[in-house]
Amino acid sequence: MNLFDKQLHVKLEERKSKGILRKLKNYDGLVDFSSNDFLGLATQNQSGATGSRLISGNFVELEHLESSFAEKLGAKAALYYNSGYMANIGVIPVISDRSTTIFSDELIHASLRDGIRLSHAKHHVFPHNDLEKLGKTLANTDGQKIIVVESVYSMDGDSPDLTLLFDLAKQFDAGVLIDEAHGMGLSGKYNLGQAQQFIHHPNCIAVVYPLGKSAGLSGAFVVGSEVLKQYLINFSRSFIYTTAPSKKLIEQLKGQLANLYSKDISIIEKLKNQFILSINPHYSFITGDYSAVVGLLTGEKTLKIEAELLKQNLFVKAILAPTVRKGKERIRICFHDFNTLNEIKLLVNILNNMV
């Protein structure tokens, strides 16, 4: 049990001693006088969960999916949230307090920012992927410390050096929370990204796996220790006070995750490399080894290029300030395994004619 788990365990034991420890239970097969299925539509259609998981919305299939996902990662436990946003605003505030300082990369997702804002923690932002700066700041900070990063950043497509990051965390007794939203499905064992290598690291608090990108559905798993899972069940408001996912969604998610685990993802790298080799060298671009995203820096031409691509039936979005820094406006190109080489050629031809 790592340092963070020990602290969480103490709070769980306090709640247990008062007789108010929350636990997930299944109530299938009983006469229902508890759920919110007032008109019987969920029962009739075998659809909605009818309530939060702590009331009437827990079911065996969801528990099995959590367990199997954790098992794929070699982790102790996983807890399902209804979205990545709800996971991030639900986890960060309850693993931190007024004695905590959170250190976050300047380019983290809005949901992580909001989770930090909802906490009572102090907050330092370090320059993007600047782990040297992070180390200096950690060295000059007392109290509990948590580092919040993404495995792959959504706009730049690049990644932090996770090995170095965890070395810093160990050196300065900091916990680490990683969001795998844009890395999941694109590398690693079972296509589950790079963060899985660090799930058992003593300084890893949790890895968040949002399911709205490569998994193609919705929700998120927060993966970590069994102590963390029980702690979130008891203290995470966005888990406790929201209706559970529908049984139909979980059934669909089970099948799509099975597909993700076995997908041949090599075609994405081939298409991305073809694009990079063919694009006019006058363009500057940003990407990373574990990403399907290339950010083509297009400045004041960004909206004009977006419009031209749309005219040619190519759906590519312009990303403008304040989503990215002024001067870093770009066309964000996402490669998929259903794109074709001919589509890449068309895209490149249009872009090269607009230099």
The domains located in the chain, with CATH, are 3-261 (3.40.640.10), 266-352 (3.90.1150.10)
> How confident is the model at residue 3, as a pLDDT?
81
Mean pLDDT of the chain: 96
Q: Is 14 helix (H, G, I), strand (E, B) or coil?
A: helix
Within 8 A by CB and 6+ apart from 142, the residues are none
pLDDT tens track for 121-138: 999 999 999 999 999 999
pLDDT at 207: 98
Residue 47 tokens, joined: 């659809």
- The pLDDT value given to residue 28: 84
pLDDT along the chain (355 residues), means of 10: 90 96 92 92 89 95 98 97 98 97 97 97 98 98 97 96 98 98 97 97 98 97 98 98 96 98 96 97 96 96 97 96 93 97 97 95
Tell how many helices (H) and how many strands (E) occur in the chain.
Answer: 13, 11
Place of tokens 């102090």: 122
- State the distance between the two ends of the chain, measured CA to CA, in whole angstroms: 56
Residue listed under structure tokens 């299944």: 26
Report whether 180 contacts 208 (CB < 8 A). Answer: yes
Residue 175 has phi, psi (to 5 degrees) of -90, 160
Segment 270-283, tens digit of pLDDT: 999 999 999 999 99
By the 10 Å C-beta count (0-12 exposed, 13-18 middle, 19+ buried), 130 is classed as middle
Tell me the pairing of strands 293-297 and 284-286.
Answer: antiparallel
